[in-house]
Amino acid sequence: MSGSALPPFDPYDPLGIDDLLSAEDRAVRETVRTWAADRVLPYVAGWYEAGELPVIRELARELGSIGALGMSLTGYGCAGASAVQYGLACLELEAADSGIRSLVSVQGSLAMYAIHRFGSEEQRQEWLPRMAAGEVIGCFGLTEPDHGSDPAGMRTYAKRDGDDWVLNGRKMWITNGSVAGVAVVWARTGDAPNNPGFRGFVVPTDAPGFSAPEIKHKWSLRASVTSELVLDDVRLPADAVLPEGAGLKGPLSCLGHARYGIVWGAMGAARSSFESALDYAKTRVQFGRAIGGFQLTQAKLADMAVELHKGILLAHHLGRRMDAGRLRPEQVSFGKLNNVREAIEICRTSRTILGANGISLEYPVMRHATNLESVLTYEGTVEMHQLVLGKALTGLDAFR
């Protein structure tokens, strides 16, 4: 191929990754990007500064209308999109704010996925169409105040009482909790500590004894609703149990689905920060010329571009594997570990290019950086994903 036939170099897609996308993929991406530009970007700095998301119910209905809720699920009003298309949506949502992507991930990849994958047909019919439309917001109760990385130690307990179940316990750091109409709650059901059973329950949040006080004073994910779940003798009928969700494989498979979305989403926060730094470097003048013309600034931009687009390529690769039914949990850990870690570094380096302006909410960089500190921890900490990969590489279990 002659040089004249080559396409021009695109600073915003230097590897030509868009060539991997179909027309339908691009249409999905554009729909979500346009929605985020119209409904999130003009307001998110204010929401973040105030530490609230006052229009969450309205946003949920709008996200439902564009097919973004449970979008990779089939039937029951869900879009039935590909894994790659779901990933592209996560990237665009997190390019706006991690809190908005978290809303969608918890709704679709955790609460809806659990009901779709492990629920009865009656549970699916009752909840999924309304959740797909954004009419009902869902949450997912697994993490507890004293048990995060080790869910087998959970204390929330479900006890049989005749045909009913009675739940007692607490869950912590639950996205969407105080605005949810339904909670998927995981509880210990075994009678002996050395032989615990675990089951998932579909819990209407108006059930007596259920409450969800909102968690305040966060310095990360401030444009997101985060709550505690309190279950005080919550009585549920026998059909509240997820019939296919026995054991810990149920909640862990849900987490795997959500982690996949993070692999893409983290690159959205990184892209937003990188593009802010790139644009700023071309217009900010010091010592008589734009700072983008200095070698040290160019080195930072080059290194960030390399890691950003490597991460996007990794996300694409994992998405194709998921669509082919060949994505392993260890591969999701690989993606989450790499992409969130690199996204944080991109945000920090972008902040240095913006200088003091980098800490201002007039730019998205510091907001993304602080949000990613939460993303680094939830759905599996760095250490847990390192140990998942370590066990896969060596065959030796370092968890216990």
Q: In the annotation, is 345 catalytic?
A: no
**Phi, then psi, of 88 in degrees rounded to 5:** -60, -40
Cβ(298)–Cβ(375) below 8 Å: no
- DSSP string for 150-193: -GGG---EEEEETTEEEEEEEEEEEETGGG-SEEEEEEE--SBT
Q: Which helix (DSSP H) or strand (DSSP E) does residue 34 occupy?
A: helix 23-39
- The rounded distance, in Å, linking the Cα atoms of 107 and 182 is 10
CA dist 147 to 127, 238, 246, 366, 378, Å?
A: 28, 26, 19, 29, 13
Cβ(84)–Cβ(203) below 8 Å: no
- The rounded distance, in Å, linking the Cα atoms of 380 and 11 is 33
- The rounded distance, in Å, linking the Cα atoms of 186 and 202 is 9
The residue type found at 174 is: I
Task: Give the E-state strand segments of the chain in sequence order.
Answer: 138-141, 157-161, 164-175, 182-188, 198-204, 210-211, 226-236, 285-286, 289-290
- The rounded distance, in Å, linking the Cα atoms of 99 and 48 is 9
Active site residue: 58, 144, 379, 383, which one? Answer: 379
Hey, is 56 helix, strand or coil? helix
Active site positions, annotated = 379
